[in-house]
Structure formats: C-alpha cells, structure tokens
C-alpha cells in the first residue's frame, strides 16, 4: 500500500469506523430491510445527506455481490469525473482561494505553494486577508518556507487592491502561479460577500481571463451547513472547485460525496491533517475505498 493511500485511510478512519458499525457484510441478497435502513442511517450520520443516502442505498440494492462493493460502486457513480484544472497556455495561472472563517484557506495556500514550487514553478501569493496583521504573518511564514514570494500591504488595506497588485505583479514578472488569499467570511454577511465579489472583479480587470480557478475551502466537519456555504460562495465568487479539509477530525467524510454530487464541482484536494503531506489530490476511487470498511461488523 502506498504511503499516500495509507495516510488517506488513516485520515478517514473515523468516518470508516462509523460506517463499519452500520454496514453488514455478506451479499446484497442476504441483507434484510432492517440492514438497509441501518446502512442508510450510517450514511446519513457520515454526512452523505438524506437525499443522497437514500439514492445510494437504492442503487446499491440493485447490484449483486458483496454489499460493500455495491455501496462502493454506487458511491463512485455519484462523483462526477474530474475535469483538468483550467490552466492557461501562457501567462500566470491565477487561483483565488475563498471560504468561511477557519476552514483552512491560508494553510492550504501554503501547502499548494509548496507543491507548485516542488514542480519547479515560480509562485506569487497575495495576502488578501488584510483584517488582521497576524493573518499576513501566518501566510508569510508559509510562503517563505515554500520558497514563494508575497505581496502584502498595510493592515486594513483594501483586499481588492492587494489582489489587483498581486495579479499585476504576477504578469509583469512572469510568475507561473499567482494565488490570492482572502479573509474568512460567513456566507450570510452581505458586506463581506460583496467585498469578495469585488476582489474577483478586480482580478479580472488586471487580467481578463483570470481568475482561472476559484477554489473554496470547506471544513469537512461542518455538517449540512457546508452545502449552504458552497451554494452562496459559488453564486458570489464563482467557485470552480472545492478543497475539503479536516476530514481527519470527524466521522463525516460523506460530505465530500454530497458536495461533489450536489454541485458537480470537482473536489481538487482533501485535507486529512495539519502537515504538508496531509493535503492530497482527490481521487474518487481511493476516497471511496478509504471511506468504506473492508470488513464487516
């Protein structure tokens, strides 16, 4: 087993353990009505959502063979195929990172910057969270460690101005990758959501085809509120992909399935811990394999 896969399995162990108590083994034919209700409850508790859990069970019941395999197949059917990242043929790839407070935006940017640097790309990061000096410092540490460069302004500066500067500098100095951090905000805060729309608009003014991607970072332990968050951010900021973090901390891995199914947005990365290696590219098959128990209660 690759270290990557074992890390993923370890990260999802809580979700898997939760499901292991609910999903009986044996073949689909051997399961009783009650077993199926248990399975559906287990899926709901793992945050697959009521509607999706219902259709997962419905689909799984039609398969023959082992119940675990049937569930795996029906789960995989819920994950849209991942499209390639919208990288430009020339000029910097501009990525805007958005999301609710504390979901893991800044640390994720640090990790992404490190990955891009390891691929030999030059990386410029914009400190668009200008609310707190500490936010800029936190980002600066990550950026330095990654060997990337930072654009920052004074505390309280207009985040849209920082984003504009960053993109302009990224173009002028020919960076391969430009990443713009933003302050966390709840989707119900009208003023802050308007501000985010402005950040996006101004990036497009600096570089008409940008942002190439807008990745929303979602805390995997949030529960059903994650659905509302993605709905609103997609509307305001044009979320084009998702990163689901903190999947290690809860038994709620099903949220990944629910979000990818509901919105058809690609899950780009998932976070299963705080270290660099804990942010990993999302692979539907590996994810589903790690989420479901191999053995049976």
Q: Which residue is nearest to ligand GTP (CB)?
A: 184
From residue 199 to residue 218, the character string flagging contacts with ligand GTP as x (rule: CB under 6 A) and all else as - is: ------------------x-
CA 246, 250, 59 angle in degrees (round to 5)?
Answer: 105
Any contact of residue 274 with ligand GTP (CB under 6 A)?
yes
Q: Rounded to whole angstroms, how far apart are CA atoms 219 and 111?
A: 16
Over the window 131 to 150, marking each residue x when it contacts ligand GTP by CB under 6 A and - when it does not, the resulting string is ----x---------------
Task: Kindly indicate which of the ranges 47-55, 156-164, 270-278, 289-297 contains the residues binding ligand GTP, using the contact rule CB under 6 A.
Answer: 270-278
Count residues contacting ligand GTP (CB under 6 A)?
A: 22
Q: Indicate the SS3 state at residue 221.
A: coil
Q: Which of 47, 165, 195, 248 contacts ligand GTP by CB under 6 A? A: 248
Residue in 222, 245, 250, 258 binding ligand GTP, rule: CB under 6 A? 245
Complex with ligand GTP: residue 68 or 179, whichever CB lies closer: 179
Write down the least CB distance from residue 125 to ligand GTP, Å.
Answer: 12
Of 69-77, 165-173, 245-253, 287-295, which segment contacts ligand GTP by CB under 6 A?
Answer: 245-253
C-beta closer to ligand GTP: residue 110 or 284: 110
Determine the Cα–Cα distance for residues 75 and 57; give it in Å rounded to an integer.
Answer: 9
- Owner of token pair 């690759």: 2
Please list the alpha-helical segments (H only) found in the chain. Answer: 3-11, 13-20, 33-45, 50-60, 67-76, 105-118, 133-146, 159-172, 190-206, 225-237, 254-263, 284-291
Q: Identify the residue among 129, 195, 213, 286 touching ligand GTP (CB under 6 A).
A: 129
| SS3 category, 123 | strand
Interaction between residue 15 and ligand GTP (CB under 6 A): no
Instruction: Count, in order, helices (H) and strands (E) of the chain.
Output: 12, 8
**Whether 84 contacts 200, CB under 8 Å:** no
User: What's the rounded Cα separation, in Å, for the pair 224 and 169?
Assistant: 39
Query: Is residue 105 a contact residue for ligand GTP (CB under 6 A)?
Result: yes
| Contacts with ligand GTP, residue ranges (CB under 6 A) | 99, 101-107, 129, 135, 183-184, 217, 245-246, 248-249, 271-274, 278
């Amino acid at each position: 087993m690759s270290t990557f896969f074992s890390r993923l399995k370890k990260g999802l162990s809580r979700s898997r353990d939760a499901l292991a108590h609910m999903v009986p083994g044996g073949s689909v034919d051997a399961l009783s009505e009650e077993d199926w209700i248990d399975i559906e409850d287990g899926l709901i508790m793992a945050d697959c959502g009521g509607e999706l859990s219902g259709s997962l069970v419905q689909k799984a019941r039609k398969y023959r063979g082992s119940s675990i395999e049937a569930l795996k197949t029906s789960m995989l059917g819920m994950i849209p195929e991942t499209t390639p990242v919208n990288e430009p043929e020339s000029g910097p790839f501009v990525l805007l990172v958005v999301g609710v407070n504390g979901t893991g935006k800044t640390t994720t940017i640090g990790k992404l910057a490190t990955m891009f640097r390891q691929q030999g790309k030059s990386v410029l990061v914009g400190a668009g969270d200008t609310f707190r000096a500490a936010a800029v410092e936190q980002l600066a540490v990550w950026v330095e460690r990654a060997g990337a460069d930072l654009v920052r302004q004074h505390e309280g500066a207009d985040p849209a101005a920082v984003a504009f500067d960053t993109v302009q500098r990224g173009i002028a100095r020919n960076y391969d990758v430009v990443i713009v951090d933003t302050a966390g905000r709840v989707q119900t805060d009208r003023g802050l959501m308007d501000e985010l729309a402005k950040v996006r608009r101004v990036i497009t003014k600096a570089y008409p085809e940008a942002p190439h991607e807008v990745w929303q970072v979602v805390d995997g332990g949030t529960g059903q509120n994650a659905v509302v968050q993605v709905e609103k951010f997609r509307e305001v900021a044009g979320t084009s992909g998702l990163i689901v973090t903190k999947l290690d901390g809860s038994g709620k891995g099903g949220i990944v399935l629910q979000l990818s199914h509901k919105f058809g947005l690609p899950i780009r990365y998932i976070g299963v811990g705080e270290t660099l290696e804990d942010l990993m590219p999302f692979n539907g098959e590996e994810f589903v394999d790690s989420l479901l128990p191999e053995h049976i209660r």
